[in-house]
């Protein structure tokens, strides 16, 4: 459009027109803008019409065309913006009419128990009716509780600083490598009263630490649940019956346990305990690697040295103990392929595990 014949102030206003139009946020503002540009009196358009009347004859044609061009551009712009603003007004009105003040507000997201804690609590719930109570031990332990009291020899590889977090060399202080030191603490504490109590039984869930690199099946911190029973004439059959009962309670009536001989210094005999794969029922799947069984526990009959260390006469008392890997079991049951998921607290994972609303 040729603006050379148009007075400078009008040309400038035209250049600002587009942004003035976009800035008109509602219909009232738009009407004011309309008055300013194309109103009957005092507008830019009215001024230009006066100019046209007084213009020299030979300029009239060109000036008239320029004025028409401007007026059309303004009118079209104003109209288009009016359509937009009217639609927006309608939308707002209909939204407002849809708002129902009687509807309850959306529920805030609720937190929930972590899947590992839930599994540990379930195990505690299974054992409580059998007379087991819950014990806790410190995560910073002494070598005496973590190793000596458990009949673990001086030269055992687990004692090395390659596997165990020590606070200072020769300090005797470490991060416990298993929940078994709780056995030593509880036996020592209750030894003086064992006759009166008629025996000892407890469960000890908690965190343990080992110098393992983080990968899909290892973490330097993980969880175990320790279980122990001491009484008169306790044998493998009691251990087998108890674990068989517990696994059925945990995994369903079809659950079965199988014992394989194994070695742990604090039990004799010792066993690794498998459960019939809760996912395939024993038919063989990826989780049990086709064998139909998965290992979840270490167990055995309490070594006489463990009882003696705590001041309990092993000729009178005997017992069993077991230790379960919590992450291992949780991964298997939930088919979680990577242990790290339990520690990242990604809400999508926790939700999928049924841990969040
Ligand atoms: N403390 C053992 C570990 O961390 C697990 C274990 C094995 C615990 C046998 C026991 C047991 O109580 O009897 O590998």
In tens, the pLDDT along 164-173 reads 999 987 889 9
Highest-confidence segment of 61-65, 266-270, 345-349: 266-270
Among left, alpha and beta (phi > 0; psi -120 to 50; other), residue 131 is: left
Q: Are residues 281 and 345 in the same domain?
A: yes
Q: Tell me how far apart the alpha carbons of residues 162 and 174 are, in angstroms, rounded to a whole number.
A: 13
| Helix (H/G/I), strand (E/B), else coil: 185 | helix
pLDDT at 184: 98
Q: What does the pLDDT read at residue 10?
A: 83
Looking at the structure, do residues 220 and 261 belong to the same domain, yes or no?
A: yes
Same domain, 177 and 283: yes
Q: Is pLDDT at 162 greater than 60 in this prediction?
A: yes
- Residue 107 domain-assigned (yes or no): no
> Are 328 and 206 found together in one domain?
yes
Listed residue (279, 276, 330, 325) closest to 118, CA to CA:
330
Percent of the chain with pLDDT over 90: 62
Tell which one of 238, 266, 271, 327 to mutate to probe ligand 1, the residue whose CB is within 8 A of the most ligand atoms.
Answer: 266
Residue 68 alpha carbon to ligand 1 centre in Å: 95
User: Which ligand 1 atom minimizes the distance to the CA of 228?
Assistant: 12
Give CA–CA dist 128/187, Å, rounded: 19
How many beta carbons lie within 10 A of that of residue 23, not counting itself? Answer: 10
Across 59-84, average pLDDT:
89
Q: Are residues 89 and 161 in the same domain?
A: no
Please indicate, yes or no, if residue 303 is contained in any of the structural domains: yes
The answer on pLDDT for 73 being more than 80 is yes
Most confident of 2-11, 152-161, 313-322: 313-322
Mean of pLDDT values over 280-289 = 85
* Residue 1 banded pLDDT, cuts 50, 70, 90: low
Domains: count for the chain: 2
Q: Whose CA is nearest to atom 3 of ligand 1?
A: 178
Give the per-residue pLDDT at 180.
98
pLDDT band at 122 (very low <50, low <70, confident <90, very high): very high
Going by the DSSP 8-state scheme, the letter that residue 109 receives in this structure is P
Closest C-alpha residue for ligand 1 atom 7:
298
User: By three-state DSSP, how is residue 300 classified?
Assistant: strand
The closest residue, in CA terms, to atom 4 on ligand 1 is 178
If asked whether residues 71 and 127 sit together in one domain, one would say no
Instruction: Calculate the dihedral angle through the C-alpha atoms of 267, 312, 305, 149, rounding to the nearest 10 degrees.
Output: 90
Residue that has been written with the tokens 């600002």 in this structure: 16
User: Is residue 184 a part of any domain in this protein?
Assistant: yes
**For the ranges 195-199, 279-283, 343-347, the one whose mean pLDDT is highest:** 195-199
Number of the ligand 1 atom closest to the C-alpha atom of 299: 13
Q: Are residues 154 and 67 in the same domain?
A: no
Q: Does the pLDDT of residue 357 top 60, yes or no?
A: no
The residue out of 64, 98, 132 marking a domain boundary is 98
Residue 81 is predicted with a pLDDT of: 93
Same domain, 214 and 265: yes
Give the pLDDT score at 6: 85
Residue 3, in any domain of the structure: no
Over residues 214-231, the pLDDT tens digits come to 998 899 999 999 999 999
pLDDT in tens, 176-200: 999 999 999 999 999 999 999 999 9
For residue 355, the model assigns a pLDDT of 65
Q: Is 111 helix (H, G, I), strand (E, B) or coil?
A: coil
Indicate the pLDDT class of residue 277, thresholds 50, 70 and 90.
confident
Last residue of a domain, one of 98, 125, 148: 98
105 located within any domain: no
- Which CATH number belongs to the domain containing residue 348 in this structure? 3.30.930.10
Q: SS3 of 168, please?
A: coil
Centre of ligand 1 from the C-alpha of residue 106, in Å: 48
Work out the average pLDDT over 44-63: 87
CB neighbour class for 30 (10 Å; exposed up to 12, middle 13-18, buried from 19): buried
Residue finishing a domain among 98, 128, 148: 98
Of 117, 78, 127, nearest to 246 by C-alpha is: 127
Question: Which residues have any ligand 1 atom within 6 Å of their CB?
Answer: 178, 180, 226, 264, 267, 298-300, 321-323
- CB contact at 8 A, 301 and 267: yes
Specify whether 179 is located in the same domain as 288.
yes
| Ligand 1, pocket-test mutation among 322, 327, 329, most atoms within 8 A of CB | 322
Q: What percent of the chain has pLDDT over 70?
A: 99
Q: How confident is the model at residue 49 (pLDDT cuts 50, 70, 90)?
A: confident
| Rounded distance from Cα 255 to ligand 1 centre (Å) | 21
Residue 121: predicted pLDDT: 96
Protein residue with least CA distance to atom 13, ligand 1:
299
Answer yes or no: are the C-beta atoms of 295 and 340 closer than 8 Å: no
Judgement on whether residues 69 and 153 belong to the same structural domain of the protein: no
| Region 245-272 average pLDDT | 94
| pLDDT at residue 156 tops 70 | yes
Range of the domain at 59: 8-98
How large is the average pLDDT for residues 261-270? 98
* Residues 208 and 284 occupy one common structural domain: yes
Instruction: Tell me which of 141-145, 167-171, 270-274, 308-312 is least confident.
Output: 167-171
């Amino acid at each position: 459009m040729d603006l050379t014949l148009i007075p400078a102030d009008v040309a400038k206003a035209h250049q600002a027109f587009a942004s003035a139009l976009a800035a008109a946020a509602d219909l009232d503002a738009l009407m004011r803008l309309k008055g300013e540009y194309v109103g009957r009196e005092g507008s830019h358009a009215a001024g230009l019409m006066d100019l046209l009347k007084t213009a020299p004859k030979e300029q009239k044609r060109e000036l008239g065309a320029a004025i028409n061009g401007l007026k059309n551009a303004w009118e079209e712009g104003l109209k288009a913006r009016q359509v937009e603003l009217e639609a927006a007004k309608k939308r707002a009105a209909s939204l407002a009419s849809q708002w129902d003040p009687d509807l309850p507000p959306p529920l805030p997201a609720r937190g929930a128990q972590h899947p590992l804690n839930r599994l540990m609590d379930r195990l505690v719930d299974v054992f409580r009716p059998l007379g087991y109570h819950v014990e806790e031990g410190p995560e910073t332990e002494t070598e005496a509780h973590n190793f000596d009291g458990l009949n673990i020899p001086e030269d055992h590889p687990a004692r090395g600083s390659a596997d165990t977090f020590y606070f200072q060399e020769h300090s005797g202080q470490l991060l416990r490598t298993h929940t078994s030191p709780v056995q030593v603490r509880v036996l020592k504490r209750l030894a003086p009263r064992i006759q009166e109590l008629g025996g000892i039984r407890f469960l000890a869930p908690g965190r343990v630490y080992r110098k393992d690199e983080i990968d899909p099946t290892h973490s330097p911190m993980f969880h175990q649940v320790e279980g122990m029973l001491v009484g008169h004439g306790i044998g493998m059959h009691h251990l087998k019956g108890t674990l068989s009962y517990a696994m059925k309670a945990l995994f369903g009536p079809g659950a079965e346990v199988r014992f394989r001989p194994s070695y742990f210094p604090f039990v004799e005999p010792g066993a690794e305990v498998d459960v019939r794969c809760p996912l395939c029922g024993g038919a063989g799947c990826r989780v049990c690697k086709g064998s139909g069984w998965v290992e979840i526990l270490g167990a055995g009959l309490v070594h006489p040295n463990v009882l003696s260390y705590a001041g309990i006469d092993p000729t009178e008392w005997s017992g069993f103990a077991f230790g379960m890997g919590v992450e291992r079991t949780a991964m298997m049951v939930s088919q979680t392929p990577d242990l790290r998921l339990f520690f990242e607290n990604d809400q999508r994972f926790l939700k999928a595990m049924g841990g969040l609303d």
